[in-house]
């Protein structure tokens, strides 16, 4: 009887250990996420509502909405919202259409396909600063390759980086190019997962390439397209790195503020040591991205239905 009791007790301990063991494997990751992700997020939300918060002394006057009232009355923040929304509405659709076209062409049986795929992937493994400086030289008014190409077709040179009217188009062109590689890779992966039997059956039925593309390729590529839209929307809303190599800041006359640059501006430039306004802007950006993501998920769900 004693042996049976011991065996049952051991089995009970083993079952308990088996239940606990997965949490042991997950613990290092969970601790890292808590320290480096969850805690900063919670801390930013707390600072956003602490009026006159001082990071050095960890003091604040009261809890309220003064930080949000300030940023929504700040012309720079309003400009940042406008620039960011316009940037997203321009860059996302154009980059998606170009990426679908390029991925579709790369998926065809062409010579040196691997070379072309590598060429489109290279910008992802190249330094952002180096790429940005290369684009700055390309946009140069007197010796840039972009103006040289425009001159070849009879268009006068454009001062992309020094005239405020052209600052935003220059940023959009660079932004579209910068997200193409990742988007193309995802779409190419989606195209390669489509069963070739669909194309064979369509050609047997007499469908042309245009019909096949719009009736087979695009519908079967929808899950990948929605994934790309969500990832790129989150990324493009956080436009920041592109500003420094091109303009050394928010444009030649402070006309190129984006929401993330505004956060940086409040955090490091305008009022060092007082981060309430930066935290409030970060919270607003969080909710904007969250709302856009939920809308896209809702549209994806309806499209599937």
Across the chain, mean pLDDT equals 85
Residue with tokens 């990832």: 231
| pLDDT above 70 for 141 | yes
- What one-character DSSP code corresponds to residue 56? T
Residue 300, pLDDT score? 78
Q: Are 70 and 280 in contact (CB under 8 A)?
A: yes
Question: Dihedral (C-alpha) 120, 121, 126, 132: value to the nearest 10 degrees?
Answer: 40
DSSP H or E run through 50:
strand 50-51
What is the per-residue pLDDT across 44-92, written as a single tens digit (0 to 9) for each?
899 888 888 877 777 788 888 989 999 999 999 999 999 999 999 999 9
Q: Residue 63, SS3?
A: strand
DSSP H or E run through 62:
strand 62-63
Query: Per the structure block, which two tokens stand in for 137?
Result: 């030289």
Q: Residue 107, SS3?
A: coil
Residue 205, pLDDT score? 82
Between residues 272 and 151, the one the model is more confident about: 151
Q: Residue 54, SS3?
A: strand
If one counts every other C-beta atom within 10 angstroms of the C-beta of residue 121, the result is 15
- pTM, two decimals, is 0.85
DSSP H or E run through 24:
helix 2-33
How many angstroms separate the first and last alpha carbons of the chain? 61
Q: Is 279 buried (19+), middle (13-18) or exposed (0-12) by CB count in 10 A?
A: buried
Q: State how far the Cα of 246 lies from the Cα of 268, in Å rounded to an integer.
A: 20
| pLDDT above 80 for 183 | yes
If one counts every other C-beta atom within 10 angstroms of the C-beta of residue 45, the result is 14
Which of 98, 104, 126 is closest to 245 using CA atoms? 126
Query: Per the structure block, which two tokens stand in for 7?
Result: 């065996």
Q: State how far the Cα of 229 lies from the Cα of 235, in Å rounded to an integer.
A: 10
Residue 271, pLDDT score? 62
- Per-domain residue ranges for the chain? 75-304
Which of 282, 276, 244 is closest to 262 using CA atoms? 282
What are the distances in angstroms from CA 170 to CA 68, 131, 174, 241, 242?
31, 14, 6, 14, 10
Q: Which fold has domain 75-304?
A: MetI-like fold (1.10.3720)
DSSP H or E run through 278:
helix 276-304
Which residues contact residue 174 at a Cβ distance below 8 angstroms, ignoring those fewer than 6 apart? 132, 135, 242, 246
What is the pLDDT confidence band of residue 4, given thresholds at 50, 70 and 90?
A: low
What is the per-residue pLDDT across 86-131, written as a single tens digit (0 to 9) for each?
999 999 999 999 999 988 888 887 777 777 777 777 777 777 778 8
């Amino acid at each position: 009887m004693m042996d049976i009791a011991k065996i049952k007790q051991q089995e009970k301990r083993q079952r308990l250990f088996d239940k606990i063991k997965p949490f042991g494997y997950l613990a290092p990751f969970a601790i890292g996420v808590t320290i480096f992700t969850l805690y900063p997020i919670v801390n930013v939300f707390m600072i956003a509502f602490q009026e006159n918060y001082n990071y050095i002394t960890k003091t604040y006057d009261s809890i309220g909405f003064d930080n949000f009232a300030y940023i929504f009355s700040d012309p720079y923040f309003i400009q940042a919202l406008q620039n960011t929304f316009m940037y997203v509405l321009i860059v996302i659709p154009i980059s998606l259409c170009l990426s679908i076209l390029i991925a579709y062409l790369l998926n065809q049986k062409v010579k040196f396909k691997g070379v072309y795929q590598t060429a489109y992937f290279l910008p992802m493994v190249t330094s952002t600063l180096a790429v940005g400086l290369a684009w700055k030289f390309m946009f140069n008014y007197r010796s840039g390759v972009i103006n040289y190409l425009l001159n070849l077709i009879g268009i006068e040179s454009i001062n992309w980086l020094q005239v405020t009217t052209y600052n935003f188009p220059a940023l959009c062109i660079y932004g579209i190019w910068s997200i193409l590689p990742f988007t193309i890779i995802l779409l190419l992966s989606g195209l390669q997962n489509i069963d070739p039997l669909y194309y064979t059956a369509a050609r047997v039925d007499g469908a042309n390439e245009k019909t096949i593309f719009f009736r087979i390729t695009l519908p079967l590529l929808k899950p990948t397209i929605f994934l790309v839209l969500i990832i790129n929307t989150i990324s493009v809303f956080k436009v920041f790195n592109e500003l420094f190599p091109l303009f050394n800041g928010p444009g030649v006359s402070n006309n190129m503020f984006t929401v993330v640059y505004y956060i940086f501006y409040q955090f490091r430039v305008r009022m060092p040591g007082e981060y309430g306004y930066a935290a409030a802007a970060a919270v607003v950006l969080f909710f904007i991205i969250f709302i856009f993501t939920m809308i896209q998920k809702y549209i994806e769900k309806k499209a599937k239905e």
